[in-house]
Structure 1
Amino acid sequence: MARIAGVDLPQKKRIEYALTYIYGIGLTTSRKILDRTGIDYNTRVHELTDAQAATIRNDIQENVMVEGDLRKKVTLDIKALMDLGSYRGLRHRRGLPCRGQKTKTNARTRKGKRKTVGAA
């Protein structure tokens, strides 16, 4: 089982798609990593040699922020927005959408279950 960045990659999948199981790596980043390491996109995870897995591991460690570090950075960035008192920070604090979506009828994911107001 190939374990990269603390994530067990699925054995039967092609490496370009298997790398996307790591938080912070999408398809484009996955392909860039494979280009830098010189590994074919069509290689299956179970076909990787230990040396190839090590080169992928090293490349990710040096060039890409993933998993815990990335989650921590995102959390700190949101906290900084809230501390600044910016519009986006206020929206985060209130649990409302931050990117301009309407909230009169939608935004149930952010707002939660409906609270009926004014119904007699």
Structure 2
Amino acid sequence: MPRINGVDIPENKRIVVSLTYIYGIGVSMAKKILEKAKIDGDIRAKDLNDDQISSIRNSIEKLQCMVEGELKRVVSQNIKRYKDIQCYRGTRHLKNLPVRGQKTQKNARTKRGKRVAVGGANPKVVAKT
């Protein structure tokens, strides 16, 4: 498996699709990278030689696109900054609620967590108290 930017990319997929396994690189960015490196996007990742892999690494650096750890660090710093200045987005992050304006009364179950039972108490337990 070729390793680019600390990620093992799959061998049996086209190189355009394989590059999207790197956090921060989508299909359009992968096409730009391959165009800069002068590599055909239809070849498989297992068919790349060492020169082509190094040219892909160099083209990622030349395009100055943030990928993997650097991008994750910047995103987490931005969220921390929102929490520190206590803006609306920061308070939504603090309360583990949806941030981008979604409704929460009937939806957002993933973000809010598992349901809490309210009215289904056992009658024997209620009678003892």
Q: Shorter-chain TM-score category?
A: over 0.9
Q: Please report how far the alpha carbon of residue 116 of structure 1 lies from its aligned counterpart in structure 2 after TM superposition.
A: 3.2
In structure 2, list runs of 5 or more residues that go unmatched: 122-129
Q: Secondary structure at the match of 1:100?
A: coil
TM-score (norm 2): 0.88
Q: Which letter maps to 1:92?
A: H
What is the correspondence of 1:1-120 to structure 2 with a 5 Å cutoff?
1-62=1-62, 63-117=64-118, 119=119
Q: Please report how far the alpha carbon of residue 61 of structure 1 lies from its aligned counterpart in structure 2 after TM superposition.
A: 3.0
Q: Which letter maps to 1:112?
A: G
Q: Which letter maps to 1:40?
A: D
Q: Secondary structure at the match of 2:13?
A: coil
Equivalent pairs counted in the alignment come to 119
**Separation in structure 1 between the aligned mates of residue 20 and residue 39 of structure 2, nearest angstrom:** 16
TM-score (norm 1): 0.94
The superposition leaves residues 18-52 of structure 1 with CA deviations (integer Å, 9 ceiling, x where unpaired) of 00000111111101111111111101111111111
> 4+ residue stretches of structure 1 with deviation over 3 A?
none
What is the aligned-residue identity percentage? 51
**Separation in structure 2 between the aligned mates of residue 59 and residue 90 of structure 1, nearest angstrom:** 39
Q: Which letter maps to 2:97?
A: L
The superposition leaves residues 47-81 of structure 1 with CA deviations (integer Å, 9 ceiling, x where unpaired) of 11111100101222342111111111110000001
**Separation in structure 2 between the aligned mates of residue 86 and residue 101 of structure 1, nearest angstrom:** 17
Q: Which letter maps to 2:55?
A: T
Larger Rg computed on CA atoms: 2
Q: Which letter maps to 2:91?
A: L
**Separation in structure 1 between the aligned mates of residue 35 and residue 3 of structure 2, nearest angstrom:** 20
